Structure 1
């Protein structure tokens, strides 16, 4: 066991390039119509959908202290 270098591995060049690309992605980013559309969807549309759902269901459900046979929704 002494003297053997088990910790050394051959590096895969493709994995090395992928790691380099991932860590330097911010340097090469460009705004294109596709990236702008995706950013808009995640920054505006998705939170808007969750907000509408939250406001529509606000106060409708009471999940505390329910017994068997009691209704969960209020209206």
Structure 2
């Protein structure tokens, strides 16, 4: 349809600055004790805990061919 283009909006300078900061974050990153601790937690500790839980519960439950009243735990 002809006429005005209603999809255009005024740009908020704060949102533009946030977008620029997010896209250039790697330029201003510094290793501090806090960032090292957070990185260690997400890279080593969380996968380690998930892996340990998976290892300990491997084969413990069997969900195939169960009916109402059957136990999930394999003994």
Q: 1:69 to 1:5 in 2, by over 3 A?
A: closer
Q: Which runs of 5+ in 1 are unaligned?
A: none
TM-score normalized by the length of structure 1: 0.90
| Structure 1 stretches of 4+ moved >4 Å | none
Alignment of 1:15-26 (within 5 A): 15-26=15-26
Residues matched between the structures, number: 75
TM-score normalized by the length of structure 2: 0.90
RMSD of aligned alpha carbons: 1.4
For 1:40, the equivalent position in structure 2 comes to 40
Deviation at 1:6, TM superposition (A): 2.2
1-10 or 54-63: which moved more? 1-10
Q: Using the alignment, how far apart are the partners of 1:34 and 1:66 within structure 2?
A: 48
